Structure 1
Amino acid sequence: MLIDSHTNLHGETYAEDLDAVIERAREANVSGMIAICCRLSDFEEVSAIAERYDNIWCTIGAHPHHAKDRPDITPDELVEIARHPKVIGIGETGLDFHYGYSPREEQFRSLRAHVEAARRIDLPLILHTRDADDEMADFLESEMEQGAFRALLHCYTGGSALAKRAAKLGAYFAASGIITFKKAEDVRQVFRNDIPEDRIIIETDCPYLAPVPHRGRRNEPSYLPDVLTGVCETLGWTPDEGEAKTTEAFFRLFSKAERPS
């Protein structure tokens, strides 16, 4: 059993063939997946996908690119939406200083609201970080002092320093198709040296970042076994070990999700 911890299934990308995409995932031993919410306005569509299919869960959150769209977001609002029975995580949220689509202060304001919601309802916080390693590490350390919460650094491509500092706080890390890319040896080194093996899960982040040998195609959950192959080759795991370790870590982190029968 494999679990895809980060998919973007809503919108036009899969509008014509979502049923087939889900069926291919099932045939590839992907028994569950999370449909990620990146804008509050998308929650209705995202949650409808989770309601439609067995063993698909969802989240509620606002990506840092979209922090400017809802500068008034509050923990109360996030908590209320997160009471939906299929919501198992808060996010995607975080810090992205690469593109600067939202001002930094609005990204921090939104992120703090998500953290407080995650604390209150005890759901994992799904974090996006780009060109903000030091700021994210400082933020996590400061916030953990004010009250613990569960954190997942998704699609981890950050550096060694952030990995070490976040790991000390109990964070989990998700490997994506990037771990299979020829030029991603720096990412593989961080997974080998700086991330606890019992806190690694896997994701496709579809429709983006298709793993080798599918690069250049639309990504989909059925490609998750290729992500696992990259993780296993990086860490010296057998395929069975990788499947067991990443699946166990997923359900330990996302404890609201029921294991597929």
Structure 2
Amino acid sequence: MWIDTHCHLDAPEFSSSLTEIIASAREMSVNAILLPAVKVADTQNVQSLVSQYSNEIPGLVYTLGIHPLYTNQAHESDLNLLEEQINKALSDPRFVGIGEIGLDYFVEDLDPHKQEHFFHAQLDLAEQFKLPVILHVRRSQDSILKALRRRKVPGGIAHAFNGSFQQAEQFIEFGFKLGFGGAATYERALQIRRLIKELPLESIVTETDAPDIPPAWLKAENLTFNEPAFLSRIAKELAIIRGVSDSEFASAVWRNAMQVLPRWSALYAGNLNLNLAS
């Protein structure tokens, strides 16, 4: 069984064929998917989607947050609304944390100060509610690490990690797992491959970021966009890079995700109809 710790099932690319997308993922043994929200207006849709498809994907869960790419359109009142949404979601066993939040210093038209304001405020919420976070870290590793040093956030996942080995070690020290996916399938992704090969296995989780971060073979096979069904093939390539068997890698990344997102693990512990990864 495979676990996708970052997949935007609510993306427009999936809207016309979501039932088929979900079925394909299940057929490829992707039995757990985390759907991170990107803005407060999406909360109801994300929750409805997770509820609708939880029978097909038993480990389907979600997080709530304001993505840095949407901070230019966000208002101060959104933070108050997000706090209310988080408080209400605590009674939902499929709600597992805060995200996708973070900093993106790659996109030039984003206001860095506004990004930082919303990011810091959401870290404060994570500390307040004692919830792990799903981090968007793009050219911002040091700034995010600096923010984490100021708070007691109970870990989470640094999604699509592409920092240095030293930065990776610091995230791990703060209780974070590091997310790897399609970017590692490119032969030129030497730094990412080195991280997968040399970091402690217990620090690694798998993800697609579908429909984004396409694997290397997407265009060659005339596929339109990334999807969660591709996670099994991506993860098997990561296992090869790591030098371990598929089964060992699948068990490790499943265990790692459940450890860092305890509400996800509790979902399985509290439901006898859900099968744990073997």
Q: Structures share a fold, TM > 0.5? A: yes
Amino acid of the structure 2 residue aligned with 1:153: A
Q: Secondary structure at the match of 1:129?
A: strand
The Cα of 1:33 is off from its aligned counterpart by 0.6
Tell whether the 8 Å contact from 1:118 to 1:125 is kept in structure 2 after alignment: yes
The Cα of 1:16 is off from its aligned counterpart by 1.3
Residue matched to 2:6: 6
* CA–CA distance in structure 1, aligned partners of residues 232 and 174 of structure 2: 29
Partner residue of 1:72 out of 68, 73, 76: 76
Q: Are 2:120 and 1:116 aligned?
A: no
Higher alpha-carbon deviation: 105-114 or 15-24: 105-114
Tell whether the 8 Å contact from 2:132 to 2:153 is kept in structure 1 after alignment: no
Partner residue of 1:247 out of 246, 254, 261: 254
Residue matched to 1:226: 233
* CA–CA distance in structure 2, aligned partners of residues 174 and 202 of structure 1: 6
The Cα of 1:71 is off from its aligned counterpart by 4.0
**TM norm structure 2:** 0.86
How big is each residue's C-alpha offset from its partner over 1:153-186, in whole Å with a ceiling of 9 and x where there is no partner? 0011222232122122221111111111121111
Tell whether the 8 Å contact from 2:4 to 2:30 is kept in structure 1 after alignment: yes
Identity of aligned residues (%): 23
Q: Structure 2: which 5+ runs fail to align?
A: 269-273
The Cα of 1:75 is off from its aligned counterpart by 5.9
The Cα of 1:74 is off from its aligned counterpart by 6.8
Residue matched to 1:136: 144
The Cα of 1:35 is off from its aligned counterpart by 1.5
How big is each residue's C-alpha offset from its partner over 1:66-96, in whole Å with a ceiling of 9 and x where there is no partner? 1222241576543431232132120101011
Q: Secondary structure at the match of 1:66?
A: helix
* CA–CA distance in structure 2, aligned partners of residues 12 and 68 of structure 1: 20
Alignment length (residue pairs): 257
Root-mean-square deviation (Å): 1.8
Tell whether the 8 Å contact from 2:6 to 2:207 is kept in structure 1 after alignment: yes
Residue matched to 1:99: 107
The Cα of 1:38 is off from its aligned counterpart by 0.9
Pair 1:142–1:191, CA change in 2 (3 A): farther
Amino acid of the structure 2 residue aligned with 1:234: I
Amino acid of the structure 2 residue aligned with 1:35: L
Dislocated runs of 4+, deviation >4 Å: 73-76
Residue matched to 1:57: 61
**TM norm structure 1:** 0.91
Q: Structure 1: which 5+ runs fail to align?
A: none
